[in-house]
Amino acid sequence: EVQLVESGGGLVQPGGSLKLSCAASGFTFSSYEMSWVRQAPGKDLEWISFITNSGGSKYHADSVKGRFTISRDNAKNSVYLQMNSLRADDTAVYYCASGHFEYWGQGTLVTVSS
């Protein structure tokens, strides 16, 4: 069974940092590109980051560029999202998904508030 399980969300103060993890199982992780997508409460989906299967190429949305960094560890079947300089408008459920969105995790909530 394919699973993507996100972790690392929580409450953080503005300006703070958080690192999200996404553990994959049930498919050949190293063959798949991966993405992060977020959804603010009651709002639409927003694609934010993408990484190729080797990790050699990465893309980020302008809204997070310079603050968020996607990475992966194929030996651990995991993809990460390092989030720095967090702002209130980063509050959202963060989903990891396979590169072409075949598989999605259940999401992890990040709340940025003082």
Partner 1 sequence: DVVMTQSPLSLAVTLGQPASISCRSSQSLVYSGGNIILHWFQQRPGQSPRRLIFNLSYRASGVPDRFSGSGSDTDFTLKISRVEAEDVGLYYCMQGAHWPWTFGQGTKVEIK
- 80 exposed, middle or buried (CB, 10 Å; 0-12, 13-18, 19+)? buried
The minimum distance between CB 35 and partner 1, in angstroms, equals: 8
Measured from the CB atom, the residue of 10 and 101 that comes closer to partner 1 is: 101
- 56 exposed, middle or buried (CB, 10 Å; 0-12, 13-18, 19+)? exposed
Q: With binding defined as CB under 8 A, does residue 27 bind partner 1? A: no
Q: With binding defined as CB under 8 A, does residue 1 bind partner 1? A: no
The minimum distance between CB 36 and partner 1, in angstroms, equals: 11
Q: With binding defined as CB under 8 A, does residue 92 bind partner 1? A: no
- List residues binding partner 1 (CB under 8 A): 35, 37, 44-47, 50, 59-62, 95, 97, 100-102, 104-107
